[in-house]
Chains A and B, each alone.
Chain A
Amino acid sequence: MNQLARLAAQLTTPLLPHDYLTLVDPVLAGSGFRARIRSIQPETVGSCSVEFEVPKSFPSHTAGQYLRLGVDIAGVRHWRSYSITTPQGSTSRRVLSITVKETSNGLMSGHLVRNARAGDLVFLEPAAGEFVLSQEPTELIFLAFGSGITPIMSMIRTLAARGGSPAPVLLIVGARTEDEVIFGEELAALADNEPWLDLVLWESAARGRFDVARLDQLAPNWRDAQTYVSGPSAILDQAVDLWAAAGLTEQLFVERFVTPLAHVDGAGGEVRFSRAGKSTAVDGSTTLLDAGEAAGILMPNGCRMGICHTCVVPLKSGQVRDMRTGEVHGEPGDIIQTCVNAAACDIEIDV
Chain B
Amino acid sequence: MSALHIVPEVTEEPMSPVLAHLTEADVNEIADRLDAIRDEILADRGEADAAYIRRLIRIHRYLEISGRFTLLASILPPAWLTGTTLLSLAKIIENMELGHNIMHGQWDWMRDPEIHSTTWEWDNVATAQDWKMTHNSMHHTWTNVIGKDEDVGYGRLRVTPDQEWKPEHLFQVATNLLLMTFFEYGISMYDSAVNSESISHDGLDSRKKAIAKAWHKIKPQAFKDYIAFPLLSGISAPTTFAANFTANVVRNMWTHTVIFCGHFPDEVQYFTEEQVEGESKGDWYIRQMMGSANIEGSKLFHTMTGNLSHQIEHHLFPDLPSNRYSEIAPRVRAVCDEFDLPYTTGRLSKQNLEVWRKLAVLSLPNDVAAKLGL
Contact = CB atoms under 8 A, between A and B. Distances in A.
B61 A307 contact: no
Contacts of A14: 121-123, 220
Contacts of A305: 141, 281, 284
Given A10-B228, A23-B62, A335-B108, A74 B141 contact: no
Residue among A19, A334, A335 facing the most chain B CB atoms (10 A cut-off): A335
Interface in A290-349: 302-310, 312, 325, 334-335
Contacts of A57: none
Nearest to B52: A75
Interface stretch (B132-140, B153-161, B175-183, B289-297): B132-140
A325 B50 contact: no
Interface residues of B, number: 46
B50 A72 contact: yes
Contacts of B49: 75
Interface in B55-113: 58, 61-62, 65, 104-105, 108-113
A280 B266 CA distance: 50
A74 B46 contact: yes
Interface string B170-202: 000000000000000000000000000000000
A312 B42 contact: no
A307 B140 contact: yes
A205 interface: no
A72 B112 CA distance: 9
B150 to A, nearest CB: 14
B117 interface: yes
Interface in B213-245: 220-221, 223-224, 228-229, 232
A13 interface: yes
Nearest to A303: B141
B108 A310 contact: no
A77 interface: yes
Interface in A22-38: 23, 31
B118 interface: yes
A325 B42 contact: yes
A302 B104 CA distance: 12
B124 to A, nearest CB: 9
B195 to A, nearest CB: 12
Interface string B26-67: 000000000000010010011111110000001001100100
B220 A309 contact: no
B117 A10 contact: no
Given A19-B61, A23-B58, A23-B62, A309 B319 contact: yes
Given A75-B49, A303-B141, A305-B141, A312 B109 contact: no
Contacts of A306: 319
A248 interface: no
A11 B229 contact: yes
Contact of B136 (A10, A13, A308): A308
B312 to A, nearest CB: 15
B116 interface: yes
Contacts of B114: 19, 31
Contact of B110 (A11, A76, A302): A76
A75 B107 CA distance: 10
A77 B140 contact: no
A20 interface: yes
B319 A10 contact: no
A307 B38 CA distance: 12
A11 B233 CA distance: 13
Contacts of B62: 23
Given A74-B46, A76-B111, A308-B132, 5 more contacts: A11-B232, A78-B111, A307-B141, A308-B136, A335-B108
Interface of A: 7, 10-11, 13-15, 19-20, 23, 31, 72, 74-78, 302-310, 312, 325, 334-335
19 contacts: A10-B220, A10-B228, A13-B221, A15-B123, A72-B47, A72-B50, A75-B47, A302-B136, A303-B137, A307-B141, A308-B105, A308-B140, A308-B318, A309-B105, A309-B117, A312-B105, A312-B117, A325-B42, A335-B108
8 closest Cβ contacts across the A-B interface?
Answer: A75-B50, A302-B137, A309-B105, A308-B136, A303-B141, A14-B121, A77-B111, A74-B46
